[in-house]
Amino acid sequence: MHALFVANYIIEYSNKKGYKINNLKLQKLLYFVNVRNILENGAPLFGESMEKWKYGPVVPDVYHEYKRFGAFSISTDEMIMEYVEFSVSPFGELSDLEITEYDSQKVENTQLIENTVDALHGFGPFELVDITHDHTPWKKHEDRIMDGVQGIKYTIEEIKDFFGHNPGAKIWVQ
């Protein structure tokens, strides 16, 4: 599953429920949905890695698709409906384009996504940033992150370790 399609499902669901969702909050919801899926189902919900950025966890592809909204809410009408994949060989040759259309019916674990969004919708984007900054997987790299080092990825092992030792960090539990 592409992270963009999980993001789209979060946007659709948030809009349907009347929850405000901007790109910053979307990134944090993606993090908590993915963490929850790792803990409860043993694997990430999507294939892309999450990175440790100055404002916490980010899926770079999704961030870049929705950064044009800045701090403004993202509506269902403005979602990116296609995911385009291709590769470039070491010789500069492009592979065939593969275009996948978004279909909410194909998103996996929608109940987990909806329950997590419902549990976290009351948090503001910067509250979620502050919460993720207190998590060891981000905190232990804080100096490097703030110095501008890019591409620091979250690992499944550190997520399992942190949340396994810090059950109170599961803020989706009500």
pLDDT, tens digit (0-9, with 9 covering 90-100), for 62-110 = 999 999 999 999 998 877 777 777 677 788 777 777 778 888 888 999 9
Tell me how many domains the chain contains: 1
Q: In this predicted structure, what is the pLDDT of residue 82?
A: 74
Cβ-contact 40, 33 below 8 angstroms: no
Residue 155 within any structural domain of the chain: yes
Residue 53 within any structural domain of the chain: yes
Question: Is a pLDDT exceeding 70 seen at residue 18?
Answer: yes
Residue 133 within any structural domain of the chain: yes
Q: In this predicted structure, what is the pLDDT of residue 42?
A: 96
Q: In this predicted structure, what is the pLDDT of residue 56?
A: 98
pLDDT band at 12 (very low <50, low <70, confident <90, very high): very high
Give the separation between CA 41 and CA 29, rounded to whole angstroms. Answer: 17
Q: In this predicted structure, what is the pLDDT of residue 96?
A: 73
Arithmetic mean of pLDDT, 122-136: 98
Residue 84 within any structural domain of the chain: no
Question: Is a pLDDT exceeding 90 seen at residue 43?
Answer: yes
Other residues' Cβ atoms within 10 Å of the Cβ of residue 118: 15
Q: In this predicted structure, what is the pLDDT of residue 104?
A: 86
pTM: 0.90
Residue 19 within any structural domain of the chain: yes
Cβ-contact 156, 42 below 8 angstroms: no
Average pLDDT, the chain: 93
Residue 94 within any structural domain of the chain: no
Q: Which domain holds residue 27?
A: 3-76+106-169
Residue 47 within any structural domain of the chain: yes
Residue 124 within any structural domain of the chain: yes
Name the residue among 23, 21, 45, 48 with its Cα closest to residue 35.
45
* Cα 43 to chain centroid, rounded: 14
